[in-house]
Amino acid sequence: MILGIDSSAISAGCALMDDGGRIIAEQFLNTKNTHSQTLLPMIEGMLKCAGVTTADIECAAVTVGPGSFTGLRIGVSTVKGMCFGAGKKCVPVSSLEAIAYNFPGIDGVIAACMDARCGQVYNALFRSENGVITRLCDDRAVLLTELEKELAGLSGRIILAGDGAELAHKAFGGKYELAPYPLRWQRGSGVCFAAQGKEPIDPAALMPSYLRLPQAERERLAREGISAE
């Protein structure tokens, strides 16, 4: 059984997958409450409703980035604490890959986009075909103008998903398909599906993957004339 957790954006979610690959419980929130207020109660409530304890869980999977610096730290810290306490291992999952795993059975290129500010999105491209998700590029921070040029060179159905999808959709003049709301956000179920087949690690080794420095650090480097790239 896999516990999947996401807190990488303004939304938060958790899900339980049984050993047959079925999602047996899931919760999702997209409110203005902070993840420090909502994440643990949401996980505890879901486990209680499902009649599951941490002893029943083989491992916990969590999105480690890219995304909100604070959100990622909360999710990673939560999973570290749970796994240390229960003697379990964990699986780090890309936030963008978790988005792509909302789309098995829907063929096309999934352009997972998370708002990175400053005219950029955190992005990765995935192909969904015959129920299989295939990664087409690494996670990256990319200018919307550059992403638009890249997508123009692709053929077939292109679906924009993630908390930056609406931003990209507007920037691209509505050129590409905007994922329907229930599939647009990273969810606990997507984290579970993305974690399948990945090697669990010790919770001590679990770390966030930010892709770029925090804004304050980049501003400090800019003042000092040092490139943040």
| pLDDT over 80 at 214, yes or no | no
Residue 196: predicted pLDDT:
96
- Side chain identity at residue 52, one-letter code: V
What is the mean predicted confidence (pLDDT) over 10-21?
A: 96
181, HSE (Cβ side, Cα atoms, 13 Å): 4
Note whether 17 and 192 are within 8 A (CB).
yes
* Widest distance between CA atoms in the chain: 56
Mind listing the domains of the chain with CATH numbers?
A: 2-97+186-211 (3.30.420.40), 102-184 (3.30.420.40)
Residue 221: predicted pLDDT:
45
Mean pLDDT taken over the chain: 92
Residue 33: predicted pLDDT:
79
pTM of the shown model: 0.91
| pLDDT over 80 at 226, yes or no | no
Per residue in 124-164, pLDDT (tens digit) is 999 999 999 999 999 999 999 999 999 999 999 999 999 99
Residue 39: predicted pLDDT:
96
